Amino acid sequence: MGPEAHTEADTANITRTAHTAHTTDITDVTDTAEITVRRALELPALRRGLPEVLAGQDRLDRPVRWVHAGEVPHIASLLKGGELLLTTGLGLGTRPAEQRAFISDLADREITALVVELGSRFAALPSAMVDAARACGLPLIQLHREVPYVAVTEEIHTEIVNSHYTLLRRADDVVRRCTDVLLRGGGAPEVLRLLARFTGNPLCLEAPDGSPLYAAGPDCGGPADADPLQAWEGLRAAGLRVEVPGGGHGPDAVRAHLVLLPVNTPLTPVHRIAAERAAGLLAVVMLQSRQEEALAARGRGDFLADLAEGRITAAEAPGQARLLGFRPGTGPVLPVVMRLPSALPVPGGWALLAQTLREELMALGVPVLLGVRPVEGRVPVLVGLPECRTRTDVADRVAEALHAGVLRAGLDRRGARRPVVVVGTAGDWAAVGPGLRHAAEAACAAQGLPDRPWHDARRLDIELLLWRMREHQDLAEFVERAIGPLLAHDRGARQPLLPTLEAYLASAGRKAETARTLNVNRQTLYDRLARIAQLLGTDLDDPQTVLGLRLALRARRHTERA
């Protein structure tokens, strides 16, 4: 997915489209009224009529969209559904068959409730009407005292308008918080997570082809929290779907779909209003930064992080990986982690990096699942190992592709260290999570090591152990005891001795090889080694001393970074 050029007209068009997507006219909405039949009966105007519920007692919590009063026989044909109908019964007919038909027509029209005022037409409602209402499940209420219909209408309509205002205010509040997140530098993932917390349900942003771009959950912290990706797979057909406008026409009219999933609680009207308004924000964000690939990569990164931390089991992982397009077959899976040396230098850097990395890895001809984790500055990858390829061969090619992607993205700055690539142990899905976690931690520990195309996680265990101890005062004290006098000498010396010790230990104590590495004669080397031994008060030929010095030099990198 390459960058696209957009004109000012495109931006104006998408802004207009986004506004249309989230503008809600309360007179046109049929499902946002929160006043119910039960609440209407509690209002003073109807309460003064001494209402008696004769049928539909179990349906008094149905929402009232509007109130209508009428006396014509075929009034059902004039209604839209959702109304509370007020009548004195003049249009109900005199025969039981006519009365049953009147009730049946109202029920078919999905009228919320029928309220009949006694006195003008009936002293009590006929049993035919009551039986028909019970059979249809239509709430039927009779009023024993006369009430002014205008007062009933005003009270209920005021409640409906107030409820709409409350809904819109709550939706505006969440959209305002989404806007604040964007102004503080957040992106679409942060907006989606905030919206998920507001609804109390997981949600998913889908590409136009129906594939998941990013799934977010409410993160309630409970053990019953559903995985957003699994929820999307199982409930996408039943979810509330809102279009994210694309600003164009035809295939470009819709950039994505926002799908709210009714997992923890039912979806309410305010959830729909908030989603429609948030869709407008997402449209502008996605237009400005072309975030589709970055969103998809962050979604895959979240899946890989959850897998590494054990939040996704080995049994669940293959199915979720297939939803994300990763089908490794029956062979082992190889975990790889690339860690960048510093923050990305340009806005939209993660989107560009995700795109170039995926293009380079796709050219390898092996199954690959690539994600990004911007907060940690790392790129986790799973690679399916074909039977005809060795781990080393695949690791070489994956590392080469990752470095090529970084270079193409313009992130390989002159003088900067290369990204660290760590390759874990290949295994089945039960081993993939721990392997990813090990590789990710090893990539942190490997920072500052000599540049290599890739590091084997199995050979970094000592570095990892020291890295985990980096904040312990004991580690810093160990470094100070082991090589402190040498470090103090070098801080003011014209000829530092630490490089000599490092070269000597790297050559396993072979003096001739050390002299060649340092490009000095043997006598000079002997003098330097003698001076080092004197400063440290130790014997450089003693194996335990050598081991301690090796560990101290390794630990020094981590204590200085801590």
149-179 residue pLDDT tens: 888 888 888 888 777 777 778 888 888 888 8
| Per-residue model confidence (pLDDT) at position 18 | 36
The domain spans of the chain are 8-29+187-290, 37-159, 325-468, 473-561
| Per-residue model confidence (pLDDT) at position 297 | 86
Which residues of the chain are modeled with pLDDT < 70? 1-34, 185, 220-225, 247-252, 288-291, 342-348, 412-416, 561-562
Question: What CA–CA distances, in Å, run from 68 to 44, 84, 111, 114?
Answer: 18, 6, 10, 10
356-374 residue pLDDT tens: 898 899 888 899 999 999 8
- The CATH classification number of 325-468 equals 3.30.70
Cα(285)–Cα(288) distance, integer angstroms: 5
| Per-residue model confidence (pLDDT) at position 557 | 77
| Per-residue model confidence (pLDDT) at position 23 | 33
| Per-residue model confidence (pLDDT) at position 28 | 34
- The CATH classification number of 473-561 equals 1.10.10.2840
On whether the CB atoms of residues 203 and 216 are closer than 8 A, the answer is yes
| Per-residue model confidence (pLDDT) at position 86 | 92
| Per-residue model confidence (pLDDT) at position 121 | 86
Cα(173)–Cα(278) distance, integer angstroms: 11
Cα(165)–Cα(168) distance, integer angstroms: 5
For domain 37-159, the CATH class is alpha beta
406 CB-side CA count, 13 A: 29
Sequence-distant contacts of 249-255: CB under 8 A, at least 24 apart: 251/208, 253/17, 254/208, 255/208, 255/283, 255/286, 255/287, 255/292
| Per-residue model confidence (pLDDT) at position 224 | 52
Length of the chain (residues): 562
Strands 254-260 and 203-206: antiparallel
409-458 residue pLDDT tens: 877 665 567 899 999 999 999 999 999 999 999 998 888 788 889 999 99
| Per-residue model confidence (pLDDT) at position 2 | 35
Q: Is the dihedral of CA 464, 470, 472, 476 positive or negative?
A: positive
| Per-residue model confidence (pLDDT) at position 57 | 92
Cα(162)–Cα(401) distance, integer angstroms: 59
How would CATH label the architecture of 8-29+187-290? 2-Layer Sandwich (3.30)
Nearest residue to 82 (alpha-carbon basis) of 132, 46, 30: 30
Task: Check if 8-29+187-290 and 325-468 are the same fold.
Answer: no
| Per-residue model confidence (pLDDT) at position 10 | 41
| Two structure tokens written together for 164 | 């709409």
